[in-house]
Structure 1
Amino acid sequence: MMIISYADSALSVLPPVVAITLAILTRKVLLSLGVGIIFGALLLTDFSLLSSGEYIATTVSQLVWKDAALNSWNVYILGFLIVLGMITALITVSGSARAFADWAKLRIRNKRDAKLMTMFLGCVVFIDDYFNSLVVGSISRPITDRYHVSRAKLAYILDSTAAPICVISPVSSWGAYIIALIGGILTAHGFADTGHLSVFIQMIPMNFYALISLLLLLCVATFSLDVGPLRQHELNALRGDLFDESKGQPPGATADLPEADTGKVIGLFLPIAILVFATVYFMVSSGADALASSELPFSVLGAFENTDVSSSLFFGSIVGFIATVVLAIKQKVAWSMLLQGMRVGALSMLPAVYILLFAWTIAGVIGELETGKYMASLATDNIPFALLPAGLFLLAGVTAFSTGTSWGTFGIMLPIAADMAMGSDSTMMLPMLAAVLSGAVFGDHCSPISDTTILSSTGASCHHIDHVVTQLPYALIAATISLVGYTVLGYTASLVAGLISCAVLFVLSVVILHFWAKK
């Protein structure tokens, strides 16, 4: 089977564009991804039906079994999803979720407090974006449901804390990955003695999109700046319709489960706390093992840099699952209810599993088409140097949107940004690298095929396309402000000037949103 290269062709962009456009127009995610996969396979095999079928079958099988071994990353992530679904359902049937809602009712006084609590938890749980979206969603959903916060709003809160927090946190899977990439880039350009962690910290205030997204979310949650499609979802939630029931049950839904009367708040907090600590332990442990095998000295940052995220999430969830079962038994929950909870919890995650499998498949097709490389090559065309930070922000956004991956965009675009800076003005290297990080998170936020976006929908138990469409206006507002900020930064070479321009536009945007939301 011969695969045709499209590394230098605009045709490489067509399959993800087709999939994303169909997803938004039809709101049928699996159908749209399937069409994109088939179209991409046809392009790669010169429109040979037999070869296309063979290619798709091979690509799908490699999601589970690759290079004569288990594809552990994918399998562990899927296992983590299923186990977390069972934990969530068990917390529900044990009555602990209802007990927590009753407990919080005395402390969470209103809808705004429920939203701010969710945002606070999202900022605290920063070790990994998958973990953030799913765990914080499980904790917050009983409270946000009680105060009639729509599932779309909850998904927006989860998504707008997960990636933006992780991309500016050095002690996270994202931070470690970025520091490793930046370290290699700096070494390649003769800056081997530069502290990689200190460089990462210097770049935090330059990551305009992440910072603005968090500030905008804070204002939206505090002042109910609900505009566009999200406004209608919030109005529906006030009538008791937390999600669009005409589309069926969303991923992660466990609404039909019975609830025991013996539930206690500790039945929710303790399993989640054990899950968090176990996951952190396995992340540090697997990273330490990797350092030891490479004969490198142990450090916490080094451990996070070399950790196996997927296995840590899975084994951490197993420990959390055992703790949940033990606590449920101590609360005298009947075995029949426990078994029903496990079954319903596992089944509730199947829609998310299906979407992830399709998203990973199209990601493989996009990788073969070398869509990311083509998008990155556009950056080398005649762009004035002062516009490069803004141009890189936009290009990273389009690349992440088309490929559905922030990390892949980091890997492709960061070395290009560094090379362009070194070829023109090395003092602009950090702002240009930060522009890539910022743009990649923006594109990831907007993309229906992004796994982070998919898992935020799952954590909120929200229909996926509803989340994408309702988050889009806010992502575009934050991106527009960031784009202006990077343009000012490029022309003035001043971070302060860039931040001031962002601050002025941010305040103006919030005022406009306030009047828009009150109409």
Structure 2
Amino acid sequence: MPAENYGIISLLPALFAIVLTLASRQVLLSLFAGIWIGATILVGWNPIAGAAHALQLVIDNITPAFNIKLLLFTFLSGAMLGMIFLSGGMNALAGRIISRIKTRRQAEIGTSVLGMLIFVDSYASTMITGSVMRPITDQFDISREKLAYLLDSTTSPVVSIAVVSTWVGFEVGLISQQFNELGIQMSPFVVFLQSIPYRFYSLLAIALVFVVVFTGWDFGPMKRAETRAKETGKVLRDDADPLLETREEDIVTPDHVDARWWYFAAPIVALVAVTGFGLLYSGGWPGRTPVNALKNAATADAILWGVFSACGLLLAILVGHARVALDDVSDSIFEGFKMVMFPVAVLSLAWTIGAVSEALGVGPYVVSVAQGIITANILPAVVFVTAAIISFSIGTSWGTMGIMFPVAVPLAFNLGAPLSSAIGAILTGSLFGDHCSPISDTTVLSSMFAGADHVDHVNTQIPYALVAGGTATLLFLASGYGVSPLPLLAAGVVVVVVAAYTFSERTGFALPRVFSSDAD
């Protein structure tokens, strides 16, 4: 049966996995259950054959080179963190930072700003910011749910609009492809820049972070998590299951080691520098301009080179300067591997269920439904909502962009709708799922490096995402009728401020949990 004929059934595997994950808190079993249901549908509703096909699908989605490199990156990240814990460098740096941070608000601001400053790659930003700030936010009794939210909301939303990042090449490449096919004589990179003011969801998600940080107007499950942390000192709820299984205190720094702050800073600088150089070099620089080089960069190779370089430098520091025995270093590496075993399993299954959803035709189905109601005026809003639904269902922004561009750009061109608005709607709508879907790799990594329970992170973040997403939908509706994006953005910021105030317990009202999670 062709994928486009599955209709509404194509939504079943992803929705089942998402609801079961949030309701039962059993992430791996829920994801595999969704994969099994999808595989069963694909093989003609035979549950036995579906189970066999589900296993094959997992294998097929682990073995692509990009995915293997990302898994290896995750393992090496664990090894790097294990060695950093052994060196004591993180504690030394945290001690210096803590001496300058006096309040919870300053700790949250520091986390948000650091996440935004590392705009080259969302994975690197999440890993570095989470690793640096977790002991600091713990010191000020900031819940791990809040830390995960700050990581998630200042990495992908920022990287997606940065003009120098691992995303820009992919995004500009998609624009270029459609312009070539449609014969549009415009610069893809210029249109990319013109679309930035229309990235309403991305920009409002960032704005909401600072509204909440500066005002303290948390709401919904996040409010309860923050109240728990403030009143009891418990940064995790009782019975929480944080993705980061090994904690820093599980790896003891030898007594003879005089921990230096640069034991942590040096490998992080190496990670960022080598990743940045790797992006440019793998894309053909210096023979190409930096922008063209980033467009053609091998992202997975670059981040892999970066983390491997950081591990090598750490090994040299531990053995050569700190005089740590190789046995201790080896033990810390394996403890680091233990940290990331569960995230690796989640990532593997998340990729698979996304592939199952694509095989069932989620994208074509949602697009076909949306096409029947699109006019030039409402096109930006419909494109945004459609991209958000698809990205939440399959857990990948890039996959959603690949689905949406061949449909939405020609449609906008033929209807005479502004291309910058339509493209902005695609790019920021695709980010929605990457930002808050429980089966998104960046959501998983945010939970991992915050040391948060994954379901608690998703449950506490979704209300914030819905506030930004709902406001963005209204702004796209207005933009379709010719309103300039800058006044709309200003109005959108006002709306999210009012929404945060209204939903906070300052007015006696708090949003209920999106799903039951015992997060009190």
TM superposition score normalised by structure 1: 0.92
Superposed displacement of residue 447, structure 1: 1.1
Give the conservation status (yes or no) of the 8 Å contact 1:252–1:459: no
Q: Please show how residues 34-433 of structure 1 align to structure 2 within 5 Å.
A: 34-65=32-63, 71-192=64-185, 194-238=186-230, 239-251=232-244, 253-254=246-247, 255-261=249-255, 262-288=258-284, 297-329=287-319, 330-426=321-417, 428-433=418-423
Instruction: Write out per-residue CA displacement over residues 66-105 of structure 1, whole angstroms, 9 at most, x where no aligned residue.
Output: xxxxx22111111111111121121112111111121112
Percent of aligned positions with the same letter in both sequences? 32
Aligned to 2:518: none
Question: What amino acid does structure 2 have at the position aligned with 1:14?
Answer: L
Q: What residue ranges of structure 2 are gaps of 5+ in the alignment?
A: 510-520
Alignment match, 1:32: 30
1:429 deviates by: 1.7
Q: Partner letter of residue 78 of structure 1?
A: L
Cα deviation for residue 346 of structure 1 reads 0.7
Residue 124 and residue 252 in structure 1: after superposition, are their counterparts in 2 closer, same or farther (change >3 A)?
A: farther
2:289 aligned partner, one-letter code: S
**In the TM superposition, what whole-angstrom CA distance separates every residue of 1:393-446 from its partner, at most 9, and x where no partner exists?**
1111101011111111111112322122122224x2211111121211123223
Q: How does 1:440-455 map to 2 (within 5 A)?
A: 440-455=430-445
Deviation at 1:485, TM superposition (A): 0.7
Q: What's the offset of the Cα at 1:111?
A: 1.4
> Structure 2: which amino acid aligns with 1:216?
L
**Kept after mapping to 1: 8 A contact 2:143/2:229:** yes
Structure 2 match to 1:68: none
- Tell me the amino acid that sits aligned with residue 179 of structure 1: V
**Which piece of structure 1 moves more, 235-244 or 194-203?**
235-244
Provide structure 1 residue ranges, at least 5 long, that are not aligned to the other structure: 66-70
**Offset of residue 42 of structure 1:** 0.6
Structure 1 partner of 2:14 = 16
**Distance 1:225-1:493 versus aligned 2 partners, 3 A rule:** closer
SS in 2 for 1:349: helix
The 8 Å contact of residues 417 and 429 in structure 1, kept in 2 or not, is answered as no
Structure-2-length-normalised TM-score: 0.92
How many Å apart are 1:507 and its aligned residue? 3.4
Q: What's the CA shift string for 1:141-161, capped at 9, x where partnerless?
A: 121121221111111011101
Q: Is the 8 A contact 1:4 1:46 kept in 2?
A: no
CA distance in 1 between partners of 2:238 and 2:266 (Å): 32
Measured in 2, the distance between the counterparts of 1:98 and 1:501 equals: 42
Deviation of 1:514 after TM superposition, in Å, equals 5.4
Output the amino acid matched with 1:29. V
The 3-state SS of whatever aligns with 1:307 is coil
Contact 2:383 2:422 in 1 (8 A): yes
Residues 157 and 415 of structure 1, relative CA distance in 2, 3 Å threshold: same
1:485 matched to 2:470? The reply is no
**SS of structure 2 residue aligned to 1:220:** helix
Secondary structure of 1:173's partner?
coil
Aligned length: 504
C-alpha distance in structure 1 between counterparts of 2:226 and 2:493, whole Å: 28
Q: CA deviation at 1:179?
A: 0.8
Offset from partner CA, 1:436-494 (integer Å, 9 cap, x none): 21211123223111111111111111111111001011101111111111111112343
Letter of the structure 2 residue corresponding to residue 135 of structure 1: I
Closer/same/farther in 2, CA of residues 518 and 99 from structure 1, 3 Å limit: farther
CA contact (8 A) 2:103 2:140 kept: yes
* 35-44 vs 85-94, which moves further: 85-94
Indicate if the aligned counterparts of 1:170 and 1:197 stay in contact, CA closer than 8 A.
no
Q: Find out whether 1:468 has 2:450 as its counterpart.
A: no
Counterparts in 2 of 1:507 and 1:232: CA distance versus 1, 3 Å: closer
> Following the alignment from structure 1 to structure 2, what is the Cα–Cα distance between the partners of residues 471 and 267?
33
> What secondary structure is seen at the aligned counterpart in 1 of 2:236?
coil
Whether the 8 Å CA contact 2:94–2:132 is kept in 1: the answer is no
Measured at CA, do residues 26 and 517 of structure 1 come closer, stay the same or move farther in structure 2, by a change above 3 Å? farther
Local SS of the residue matching 1:492: coil
Two-structure CA RMSD over aligned residues (Å): 2.0
Q: Which amino acid aligns with 1:359?
A: A
Task: Give the AA of the match of 2:262.
Answer: I
Separation in structure 2 between the aligned mates of residue 422 and residue 200 of structure 1, nearest angstrom: 16
C-alpha distance in 1 between matches for 2:313 and 2:428: 38
Aligned mates of 2:355, 2:412 — CA distance in 1: 31
- The question of whether the paired residues in 1 share the 8 Å contact of 2:120 and 2:164 is answered with yes
